[in-house]
Structure 1
Amino acid sequence: MIVLGFDTSAAHCAAAIWKDGQTIEERREPMKRGQAERLMGLIEDVLSAQSIKWCDLDAIGVGIGPGNFTGIRICVSAARGLALGLGIPAIGVDRFDVIEANSVETGVPSVPATQDNLYIRQAGHDPKLVNRIEAENVGETLIFDAEGTNPAIAIAQIAASRISTQHPRPAPLYIKAADAAPARDAPPTILP
Structure 2
Amino acid sequence: MRLLVIDTALGACTAAVFEDERPLAVRFEPMVKGHQERLGGLVRDVMAEAGGGFESLDRVGVTVGPGSFTGLRVGLAFAQGLGAALDRPVVGISTLDALAASRGSPDGPAAALIDARRGQVYARLFADGAPLGEAEALPIEQAAERIAALGPAVALVGNGAAVLAGAFPDLTIWRTDDRVAPAPEALARLAADADPATHPPRPLYLRAPDATPPSRLPGQPRQPQA
The TM-score with structure 1 as length reference comes to 0.88
Say yes or no: does 1:182 pair with 2:185.
no
On the 8 A contact 1:110/1:142 being kept in 2, the answer is no
Among 152, 160, 168, the alignment partner of 2:184 is 152
Unaligned runs of 5+ in 1: none
* 1:100 maps onto 2:100 in alignment: yes
Query: SS at 1:4's partner residue?
Result: strand
**Residue identity (%):** 30
Q: Deviations over 1:45-75 (max 9, x none)?
A: 1111122311110000101111100001110
Q: Distance in 1 between matches of 2:213 and 2:155?
A: 35
> 121, 133, 155: which one pairs with 2:124?
121
1:128 deviates by 1.3
Find the counterpart in structure 2 of residue 166 from structure 1: 197
Equivalent-residue separation in structure 1 for 2:99 and 2:45 (angstroms): 25
Unpaired stretches in structure 2, ≥5 consecutive residues: 126-130, 159-176, 222-226
Could you tell me which amino acid in structure 2 is paired with residue 12 of structure 1?
A
SS in 2 for 1:52: coil
Q: Residues 6 and 88 from structure 1, CA distance in 2 versus in 1: closer, same or farther, beyond 3 angstroms?
A: same
Aligned to 1:73: 73
CA–CA separation in structure 1 for the residues paired with 2:180 and 2:49: 21
Q: How many residues align?
A: 189
- Tell me which of 113, 130, 135 is aligned to 2:143: 135
Distance of aligned partners of 1:186 and 1:41 in 2 relative to their CA distance in 1, 3 Å threshold: closer
Structure with greater contact order relative to length (CA < 8 Å, sep ≥ 6): 1
Contact 1:9–1:68 (8 Å) recurs in 2: yes
What SS does the aligned partner of 1:29 have? strand
RMSD: 2.1
Q: Which residue of 2 aligns with 1:61?
A: 61
TM-score by length of 2: 0.76
The 3-state SS of whatever aligns with 1:93 is: strand
Q: Does 1:50 align with 2:50?
A: yes
Q: Is the 8 A contact 1:28 1:150 kept in 2?
A: no
Higher strand share: 2
**Separation (CA, whole Å) in 2 of partners of 1:68 and 1:149:** 12
Counterparts of 1:33 and 1:111, CA distance in 2 = 17
Aligned match of 1:31: 31
Distance in 2 between the 1:149 and 1:21 partners? Answer: 19
* 3-state DSSP of counterpart to 2:38: helix
- Distance between the aligned counterparts of 1:154 and 1:68, measured in 2? 20
